[in-house]
Amino acid sequence: MYTNILVPISFDEDRDASAAIKVAQTLAAPDAKITLLHVMEQIPTYAISYMPTEYVNESRKAIETELTAMAGNIPGGQARLVEGHSGRTILDWADEHGVGCIVIASHRPGMQNWLLGSTATTVVRHARCAVHVLR
């Protein structure tokens, strides 16, 4: 059982965070901390000029609201929103916060059965803690 679990959350339409959260709760010790982490990647400068000026701020607020609501339903849950490259930022955050296990989702079954997503691949290959991958 783990006392500090990190669950990276992607808000892509084909991702379902509920399965990862359930696994994290199963792996958690009774007094465990479960952190839901979303990494906002930088929008390239050439693309940001084509977006409404408040796009990034509004997106950030919506993600924070959703993450907080999700974490509120988990005993010991907390929400964190950070910026950076997803794979590297997840690894750095886990190291800095003493995470014992990362529960991360990868692609849905199909041709991708043979592959992990690039973020999941980075996390599995470089994490200094246990990693549980869901497909």
CA neighbours within 13 Å on the CB side: how many for 69? Answer: 8
Residue 113 has pLDDT above 50, yes or no: no
Q: Which domain holds residue 115?
A: 2-134
Note the pLDDT tens digit of each residue in 47-103: 888 888 898 899 999 999 999 999 999 999 999 999 999 999 999 999 999 999 999
- CATH code of the domain containing 118: 3.40.50.620
pTM above 0.85, yes or no: yes
At 112, is the pLDDT very low, low, confident or very high (cuts 50, 70, 90)?
Answer: very low
pLDDT at 46 over 70: yes
Phi and psi, residue 34, nearest 5°: -120, 115
**What is the reported pLDDT for 40?**
94
Cα–Cα separations (whole angstroms), residue 112 to 108, 116, 125: 7, 7, 18
What is the number of domains present in the chain?
Answer: 1
Report residue 57: phi and psi, to 5°: -65, -45
* DSSP per-residue letters across 4-67: EEEEE----TT--HHHHHHHHHHHEEEEEEEEEEEEEPPPPHHHHTTS-TTHHHHHHHHHHHHH
Token pair belonging to 39: 């990494």
pLDDT, residue 122, reads: 92
How far apart, in whole angstroms, are the C-alpha atoms of residue 119 and residue 43?
17
